Amino acid sequence: MKTKTIILACWVAGTLLASCDSYLGIKPKGATIPQTAADFETLLNHESVQKVSDVYPTYLTDDVFLPDVAEGTATPGLNSVDLAIKNLYTYQKEVFGDAADDGLWYASYSRIYYYNTVVDNVMGAEEATEQEKRSIRAEALVSRALEYLYLVNGYARHYDENTAATDPGVPLILDENISRKNLVRASVKEVYAQILADLQTALPDLPARPKSNAFRASKAAGVGILAKTYLYMGDYTQALAAANEVLATNGTLMDLKKYAVVKPQNSIGRTNVPQDIDNPENIYIKFAPYVYGMSSKVFGSDELIALYPAKDMRLQIYFTQNFRNIPTTHYVWAPYLRANLAVSTPELYLIAAECEARVGSATRAMQLINQLRNNRIKDHTPLTAANNDDALRQVLEERRRELAMSGMTRYIDLKRLNRDARFAKTVTHATAEGTFTLPANDAKYVLPIPPKVLRFNSGTMQPNER
C-alpha cells in the first residue's frame, strides 16, 4: 500500500503539472489510475489539490498600491514586478501574451480534471461501502463547484439574470476527456446551473464534520459555497438561508485582540495568529497558489488603509510600515498567514449581514458585523444604522476590511457592485507613466481567455473583448 500511495501521489502531481499540446495541457500519459476507495482518499488528501483560484485579479482593484520603484528587495514596485502584473495594474488590453501562462486558468482546469476523475471512477472503487464512495464523490463535486465559481467570475461578465443565458462563460468539462478540440464556452447561466447542481448533488452525502480536518469537505463547506454562489447571483434570500444554516453550527470567531506581531523582522512567523486547521474560523481550507497569498507583494491603497480604525487589529497585525526592518512610506500587506480561499466563518457573517441589509433586518445586519468587529477592534463601540441602506453601506465597508487581499474577493465584489449605481466606482491607479482608470463595468474587468487556448480552439472559443 505504501508503494501504491507514492505512485498515486506522483500521479496527482504529474496530472496537475504536466504540459502537452492539448487544449488544457494536463492529461498524463501512462498514469496509474486509483483502484480502491482508499486510493481516492489519498488523492483527496494530496497537497496538490489543496489549492483553488488565484490572487492576481487583486491587482485590478482599489485595495492595492504599487510604487513606481521598489523600496528595497523585500517589497514590490512597478520596476520589479512581472510584466503581466504591471499590465493588470495599468489596465492594459493584453495581460499575459503568448509566452506566459495564465495560472488561474490552467491550474483550475488541471484540478477539475482530477475531480472529474474522482467523480467518474470512485463509485466503481473496491473495498468500500456505497455510502463511503458516495461521500468521496460528494467532496470532489464540492471542489469542482468551487473551481467553476471562481472561473466564471474571472472570465465572464458578472451574473445578471437578464443576460446570463447569452453571456459567454467558460467551458464546462465534466468528464476525463480533456483532449477534445473545438470547445465552446458555456453560458454564464449554464455554468452557474452546473455549480448549483454539483452542490445540491453533493450535500446529502457530505459528512456532518470533515474527515480528519478542514482540508476535507463537510456539509457546512458545501452549504457555505452555496451561500457564496447565491450571493454572486444576487439571490439574497437563498444566500441568507444558506449562511444562517452554516452559522448555526459554525459560528466561532477568533478574537484577534489576543494576538500580535511577535517577530517584526520576519516574514514567515511574523505573527502568532493561528492558521490552517488551528484557526477555528476555517470551515473548509483551500490555499492560494502561493500559499501566503499577496503577502509582501502589494501595499494597501490609501483608500483601504483609511477604512481601518487605529485600534483595528487587522491593520496592526496584517499591515506594516516597517517590513523586515525596512521602513516603508505605505503600509505593506504582510500577514504571512496561509491564505484560505474556500469557506470561513467571517465571510459567512458578512454574507448573512449583507443579505439581511438587502432583504431582511437592518438590526440583525448590524448585530452580525458588530459581533465580528468585537473580535477585531480594541475598545470597539457598536455601530448602528438608520435604515437598511445605511446598514448595507456599513456591511460592505466591513466586508472590504475583513476580506482585504483575499484571493479574488474584492475583484468579484467590484464587478457585482458596479451593477448598482449606489456603489459603482471608477478605480484609479496613479503611476509615473500616467494615471490609469478602470470605469465601472469596463470590459477589462473580464479576464482574457489565454491566447494558447484560443489557438487550440480556433473558430469555436469566443475571446473576451477588452
In tens, the pLDDT along 397-412 reads 999 999 999 999 999 9
Average pLDDT score over residue span 404-425:
98
Q: Is 93 helix (H, G, I), strand (E, B) or coil?
A: coil
The phi and psi torsions of 406 (rounded to 5 degrees) equal: -90, 85
The whole-number pLDDT of residue 179 equals: 72
Q: How many whole angstroms separate alpha carbon 357 and alpha carbon 353?
A: 6
Please indicate, yes or no, if residue 328 is contained in any of the structural domains.
no
Q: Which residue type sits at 81?
A: V
Assess whether pLDDT exceeds 50 at residue 4: no
Tens digit of pLDDT for each residue in 260-303? 999 999 999 999 999 999 999 999 999 999 999 999 999 999 99
Assess whether pLDDT exceeds 90 at residue 46: no
Percent of the chain at pLDDT exceeding 70: 93
Please indicate, yes or no, if residue 267 is contained in any of the structural domains.
no
Tens digit of pLDDT for each residue in 84-118? 999 999 999 999 988 788 999 999 999 999 999 99
| Domain housing 222 | 2-255+341-456
Please indicate, yes or no, if residue 333 is contained in any of the structural domains.
no
Please indicate, yes or no, if residue 56 is contained in any of the structural domains.
yes
Please indicate, yes or no, if residue 192 is contained in any of the structural domains.
yes
Please indicate, yes or no, if residue 435 is contained in any of the structural domains.
yes
Cβ(393)–Cβ(300) below 8 Å: no
What DSSP line would sit under 336-387, residue for residue? --PPB-SEEHHHHHHHHHHHHHHHS-HHHHHHHHHHHHHTTBTTPPPP--SS
Assess whether pLDDT exceeds 60 at residue 170: yes
The whole-number pLDDT of residue 10 equals: 38
The whole-number pLDDT of residue 22 equals: 52
Q: How many whole angstroms separate alpha carbon 418 and alpha carbon 425?
A: 7
Please indicate, yes or no, if residue 291 is contained in any of the structural domains.
no
Percent of the chain at pLDDT exceeding 90: 85
With CA atoms as reference, report the closest residue to 391 among 417, 420, 421, 359.
359
Please indicate, yes or no, if residue 264 is contained in any of the structural domains.
no
Lowest mean pLDDT among 59-68, 111-120, 200-209: 111-120
The whole-number pLDDT of residue 5 equals: 37
Assess whether pLDDT exceeds 90 at residue 367: yes
Q: How many independent structural domains does the chain possess?
A: 1
The whole-number pLDDT of residue 20 equals: 40
CATH of the domain at 41: 1.25.40.390
